[in-house]
Amino acid sequence: KKLLPLILCIIFMLSTVSFAQVSVNADSAILIEKSTGKVIYEKNADKKQFPASITKVLTALIVLEQCELTGEVTVSSNAVLSIPSGSSIAYLKAGEKFTVEQLLYALLVPSGNDAANVLAEHVCGSVSEFAKKMNERAKELGATNSNFVNANGLHNAEHYTTAKDMWLITQEAIKYDIFNTICATTKYTMPNTDIYQQTGDNVRTYETTNLLLVD
């Protein structure tokens, strides 16, 4: 799987550090001291970029703001069949029922594009309506150089953000303990459902796509 190619968004956890000689290969980057909000380093922080699966940070934030973790969600055919072949998925099946929390793991651990669609439909009835909510919420957070057209980050010329905007969105998402817990999870197994009974090699165990967590 490819690394998210364009934006490095780091919420820095220490209070003092020297970055006199920083070399960042990413086209855009921002490094921020978490407790003060002080920008320690930036590179093209306001340049519009295609965010790919970093989009899912905003998707997760809206879900956490709108839903109970224990809420039940049914996977629709459209949510899973509209995903193009070859993209990252969580192998969800139409008709399966999961909790919101389980789908957040499917969204953030393997970067499931199908899980993003399922959650978007659950919140707003459709992905297009969810995208409207994404743009509204982004602007509320001050992320005014962004525009989102889907919940998963699949490429679209009108789907873009900036490193600084992603920082604004991410600092809101990390206020939720469950978001931090899921993002730190390296492996997660989905439960059996009435439609998908896991045996042998058919177990849906997801491994993180975040290479910073992999040895």
Q: Annotated catalytic residue: which of 28, 53, 88, 146?
A: 53
Q: Annotated catalytic residue: which of 2, 23, 48, 56?
A: 56
Question: Does 56 qualify as catalytic in the annotation?
Answer: yes
Cα separation, 111 vs 183, in Å, equals 10
Please give the span between the terminal C-alpha atoms of the chain, in angstroms, as a whole number.
16
Question: Does 47 qualify as catalytic in the annotation?
Answer: no
b/e 33-52 (16+ beta carbons within 10 angstroms → b): beeeeeebbbbbbeeebbbb
Question: CA 185: distance to chain centroid?
Answer: 14
Q: Annotated catalytic residue: which of 28, 88, 111, 146?
A: 111
Cα separation, 146 vs 163, in Å, equals 10
Question: Does 111 qualify as catalytic in the annotation?
Answer: yes
User: 27 CB contacts (<8 Å, ≥6 apart)?
Assistant: 6, 43, 44, 47, 49
Which of 67, 160, 174 lies closest to 119, judged by CA? 67
Question: CA 154: distance to chain centroid?
Answer: 12
Q: Which residues are catalytic?
A: 53, 56, 111
